[in-house]
Structure 1
Amino acid sequence: MCVQYHALQSAKDYQRFFGVDQPPEPGKQDLWPGYEGSFIRRQPRDAAALEACNGLFGLVPHWATHTQMARNNYNARSETVGEKPSYRDAWMSAQHCIIPAQAIFEPDWRSGRAVSTRIERTDGQPMGIAGIWSCWKSPQGDVFSYSMLTINADAHPLMRHFHRPEEEKRMVVVLPEDRYADWLHAPVRDSMDFLLPYPAEALRATAPPQPQASLFG
């Protein structure tokens, strides 16, 4: 489950890699559930055009009474996304989005304690993470939000090493660039066809330097 990621910050990269203008307030670089980031979707009035929107990281369904739900709805499991009340309407309406990210962070427990590890593409290009979005109409106006889609990673050569040993291994869906447009325009009947693991050899994991043991104990 991905609870932290680094958002794309360069307006040039939004254009170069996703073909959209950077939203006016792209939010923080270091994002956690409940923070405001950005996502890319089809424009409602022009299905052929795309736009980047500001939104909360964590889905707030249209029937919600407050935005605190975002803190629990940041990862939607592919196996149950069409059934869970929080995600069902967005999924069945094919409200697909792409979440631009420079890197995600996952805990590596192989040492016996959690070591936050940065995971990014080996070519240095941003990730386009598959997600779903929603719009909640608050008294103050529309509140957009989004969630990352996740799949089982028990057999993935890289992602199986993260999270506690006893937990199921999960990973976000990183889309190939040539499938961005197809994902955003796909009907719900085809949505599952896009939820595939990204090749391990195209990803790299980097852990921060660990403190050295003192010579004086």
Structure 2
Amino acid sequence: MCANFKPLTLGQLKILQLPDIPFDYVEEVYPNYQLPLLFASKLGLEWRQVGFGMVPKWAEDKSIALKTYNARNETLLQKASFINAISKFKFGVIPVSEFYESKYIDNKPQRWGVRRKDGQAFYIAALYEICQQGSEIIRSCTMITMDAIDHPMMKEFHEPGDIKRSVIVIPHSRLEEWLNWKSPNIQSFVEGFPVDEFECSHVPKIKAEKTSPQLNFFD
């Protein structure tokens, strides 16, 4: 499961010619942190500040996000946490510069980072939700995952065993198609990212700050 990643930088934003992000965000995201989500509206591509981890309408508090930051594509219509979002086609992407997974070396987990070789940001498929708890409006999202037992890179991560998962990467060329998709059937997007375009390496964990630096802090 992907529980930690770095959002895109200002430099990557400009290369992709995406709209400016109208709010600050942290350099490294964990469950229940705020992040920039890209979605399609009647006005075109827009950014929304959302929490990492889906908070469904029936949840009593936001702590559920610690369990709902990843969603298996195979069971989206079966899980109470995600059925509303997938049924209403609330598709978005989380643009990232790098995401992290655990690789077990000598039965001990090491944090490894996965990134594009060309340094560009890439889009992770997501669902988003909006709900209200008391007077608070809560916007949240989850990353959609797929089976990765046969993926040349992602099968090397997670605990030893036959359960391997990967985020779903939306190709740059299919971004608007995904954001405007109007069906709960997303199988045409469920495919492993091309290994020849990505690389991975050991990235020891550094304590992240919860404060929100200015966006250009990590350009």
List aligned pairs for 1:10-49, cutoff 5 A.
10=10, 12-17=11-16, 19-25=18-24, 27-43=25-41, 46=42, 49=44
List aligned pairs for 1:31-180, cutoff 5 A.
31-43=29-41, 46=42, 49-180=44-175
SS in 1 for 2:56: coil
Residues 37, 94 of structure 2: 8 Å contact kept: yes
Residues 60, 145 of structure 1: 8 Å contact kept: yes
Alpha-carbon distance, 1:17 to partner: 1.6
- The alignment's TM-score, normalised by the length of structure 1, stands at 0.89
Q: Match for residue 6 of structure 2?
A: 6
SS in 1 for 2:35: strand
Paired with 2:195 and 2:91, the residues of 1 have a C-alpha distance of 24
Moved over 6 A (4+): none
SS in 2 for 1:3: coil
Q: Match for residue 210 of structure 2?
A: none
Residues 110, 202 of structure 2: 8 Å contact kept: yes
SS in 1 for 2:123: strand
Amino acid at match of 1:36: Q
SS in 1 for 2:75: coil
Gaps of 5+ in 2: 205-219
Q: Deviations over 1:78-108 (max 9, x none)?
A: 1101110000110111100010111000001
User: How big is the alpha-carbon RMSD for the aligned residues of Structure 1 and Structure 2?
Assistant: 1.6
Percent identity over paired residues: 27
Q: Deviations over 1:33-80 (max 9, x none)?
A: 11111101122xx1x511011010001112222111111100000110
Moved more, 113-122 or 190-199: 190-199
**Quick check: which has more Rg, 1 or 2?**
1
> Higher relative contact order at CA 8 Å, sep ≥6: structure 1 or structure 2?
2
- The alignment's TM-score, normalised by the length of structure 2, stands at 0.88
Alpha-carbon distance, 1:9 to partner: 3.3
Paired with 2:182 and 2:12, the residues of 1 have a C-alpha distance of 28
Residues 41, 98 of structure 1: 8 Å contact kept: yes
Pairs aligned (count): 204
Paired with 2:124 and 2:75, the residues of 1 have a C-alpha distance of 18
Q: Does 1:202 align with 2:201?
A: no
